[in-house]
Structure 1
Amino acid sequence: MARLRQVLGAASPWLILIMLLLAWQGATDFGLADPRYLSRPTTVAALIWDWIRTGFILRHVEVTVIEVVVGYTAGTLAGMAVAFGFFFFPRVAELCDPMVVVLNAAPRAILAPFAVLLFGIGLLSKMMLVLLAVFAITLLNLYTGLKEVDRTIVDNARVMGANQRDLARHVYIPAALVWIVSAMRNSIGHAFTAAIVCELLGATEGLGWIVAAGQSAVKPDWIMAGLFFAAAIVVIVDFLVLAPLERRGSHWRVF
């Protein structure tokens, strides 16, 4: 019985997804929804297969993935550097706190037009918007995590003769690794969202361009297929890379 519950628990997200797809298909087949605006799962699936078979989607996936990888990596590294700087220099953190609050509160979609105006419709504007989105999440997650390190552990290390460098190496960095991976999981979806939103406003390639082309030509199957590829990439990266990394890194936690 326990085994059955475990299997059902693992399968429940997929069952819900299948039920939603069946409901979507049924709504369009029985005239409850207009397929001209919502398309059909079977139509979208056929288009996805055709794009894969012909190789049409490969270049667009490549462009979006490049934008995300570069912006995601740069944003994560910049967020880590600033978070450690804020933690070890509290005065700087106090001075910059209002700017960080504004940056975190501002919706990324609002910044997309400025990125396109400043950096053009090439890859750079998308990379910069992704960087900004990931930077804010990494900075806030890591800075919060560093402040929550158990003070007893820090005090005990000081009693044993640890200096600031020793604390950083043996206490703060191991604690930070858990928060860094957590921030990476939280920000991967935001990174793709930022890239696609920026591509919607101005691009000649990419998954966002596909969505924009589908919107302009009133092709909902293009919109759904483009979003499918974006979601699939995020799920694959999270499932195969980030989630296992977070589980394996749980022994780093020191508080």
Structure 2
Amino acid sequence: MPLDRLKGKVAIITGAGQGIGRGIALAFAKEGATVVLAGRTYDKVRAVEDELAALGLSAHAIACDVARQDDVEAMVAQAADKFGRIDVLVNNAGAAFEPFLPLDATPNEFFQMGVDINLYGTLWCMQAALPHLKESRGFIINVASAAGTNGAAYLGTYAATKEGVRALTRTAAKEWGPFGINVNVICPFARTAAWQGFEDSQPEMCEKIVAEIPMGYVGDPETDIGPVALFLATEGSRYVTGHTIMVDGGQTVLR
């Protein structure tokens, strides 16, 4: 049952048009937050806005390509102007890339794309939101991946840039802790559109992956990932900062 733990709070969630971003948005909105849904494809975030509105929840969709600094700055400014505050920033937008490529065959432009979306996008959002988060003594939740923490063959771009996100998080936790800002990372494993595509194309491989998860299933973005992000966005996590939480059903315990 919702406890209104984010009542009166404003949360920006990037990549909110589907998957994990949508799941976190639902979890936050059901706890009273006004959620700013940022995404590169406006139709997708607008659809989530409509979905939340139909539930009587507060949301506002903004088109934003996090690989463009001017887009990021405009999105944060619009959110702050419209709602008067920013309390939580969830840097979920990111890109995993196909086809999978070995390191020695990864083109520079391919790697740069990963840096722009996964690494710069996170940095620019954090920088733009910082003045507002100082005022609210707010929370930042960055999304990384076990592809980086464990290493993942043929996903070097994704792994490297997501590990960069974890490094930014630890640095920001130290620099911004004196302002009362918490900065943490989640590494989720969830049933997203990307997972569904992988499941359709490689069912036997997916069965093996799921068999290695102690909890025995792939997480749901709203009910499995959302509550952990919610914890990191509320006062219950006030003394937790600079950490990475693996939200993966125990998948990485075995590695």
Using the size of structure 2 for normalisation, the TM-score is 0.26
Structure number having the greater strand percentage: 2
TM-score, normalised relative to structure 1: 0.26
